[in-house]
């Protein structure tokens, strides 16, 4: 049973760009809400990529990092956190490729209270997965490489999975992106708050997200 001084925790999985200003703003958002936030650096020798180097960042992630290594990093961190406090509410939150990593981590229901992913376009390669913990995915109405509505139809109906599509394009929740859609970001953050509250026994903290 959690005591009053224990904080819930979130593992934040960054985009192909690394821990940039967007990720720093998300870290601050949850720290102000009273969460421990862990954001593992997945890019190795590269600190981060500027937003205008999307192609370089994507190639580097796929060739030098990849999903398997990223998943192993997140799971190792999660196990360390749970070893220190097995009753902690631990969530994983990912954006873009980080959302795909989060989706793949949803198979480890023993570690996470919930999994959240924003516009994980590569989830389309792993639609056969069924999450073993409560999971919420957010997609934009428009993606350049696939049709989100078609993928959502495939995902809907999976036990424990909540899917929401909002107006906008890939990157709609990033205030530093040209694709930023404030109303869509706010809707998703509200749903995320409700999701965390529903899957956490730290209701007072979740209400502040």
d(CA 125, CA 201): 33
pTM: 0.92
* Distance (Å) of CA 26 to CA 164, 171, 199, 209: 20, 14, 20, 11
The C-alpha angle 130, 113, 48, rounded to 5 degrees, equals 85
- Residue recorded with tokens 């502040």: 208
What whole-number distance in Å separates Cα of residue 19 and Cα of residue 187?
24
**Residue numbers of the domain that contains 86:** 9-206
CA pair distance 55, 59, nearest whole angstrom: 6
**Taking a C-beta distance cutoff of 8 angstroms, is the pair 106, 115 a contact?**
yes
Report if residue 3 sits inside a domain.
no
Q: What are phi and psi of 142, to 5 degrees?
A: -125, 130
Q: What token pair was written down for 198?
A: 């529903």
Give yes or no for a contact between 93 and 102, defined as CB atoms under 8 angstroms apart. yes
Those residues of the chain that have pLDDT short of 50 are 1-4, 202-206, 208
Strand order in the sheet with 114-118: 36-38, 9-13, 90-95, 114-118, 135-140, 161-166
Q: Do residues 96 and 115 touch, judged by C-beta distance below 8 A?
A: no
CATH of the domain at 106: 3.40.50.1820
Is 104 inside a domain boundary? yes
200 neighbors 89 (Cβ within 8 angstroms): yes
Q: Does residue 38 sit within a domain?
A: yes
What is the domain count for the chain? 1
- Strands (E) in the chain, as ranges, are 9-13, 36-38, 90-95, 114-118, 135-140, 161-166
What's residue 209's pLDDT? 56
Residue 2 is assigned to a structural domain of this protein: no
């Amino acid at each position: 049973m959690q005591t009053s001084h224990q904080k819930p925790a979130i593992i934040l999985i960054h985009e192909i760009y690394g821990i940039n200003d967007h990720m720093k703003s998300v870290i601050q958002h949850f720290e102000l809400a009273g969460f421990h936030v862990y954001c593992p650096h997945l890019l190795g020798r590269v600190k981060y990529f500027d937003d205008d180097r999307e192609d370089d960042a994507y190639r580097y992630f796929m060739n030098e990092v990849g999903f398997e290594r990223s998943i192993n990093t997140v799971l190792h961190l999660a196990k360390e956190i749970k070893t220190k406090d097995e009753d902690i509410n631990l969530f994983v939150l990912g954006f873009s490729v980080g959302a795909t990593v989060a989706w793949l981590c949803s198979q480890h229901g023993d570690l996470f209270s919930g999994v959240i992913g924003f516009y994980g376009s590569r989830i389309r390669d792993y639609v056969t997965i069924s999450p073993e913990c409560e999971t919420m995915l957010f997609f934009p109405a428009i993606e350049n490489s696939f049709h989100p509505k078609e993928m959502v139809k495939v995902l809907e109906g999976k036990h424990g999975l909540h899917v929401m599509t909002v107006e906008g394009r890939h990157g709609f929740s990033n205030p530093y992106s040209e694709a930023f859609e404030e109303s869509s970001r706010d809707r998703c953050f509200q749903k995320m708050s409700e999701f965390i509250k529903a899957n956490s026994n730290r209701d007072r903290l979740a209400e502040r997200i």
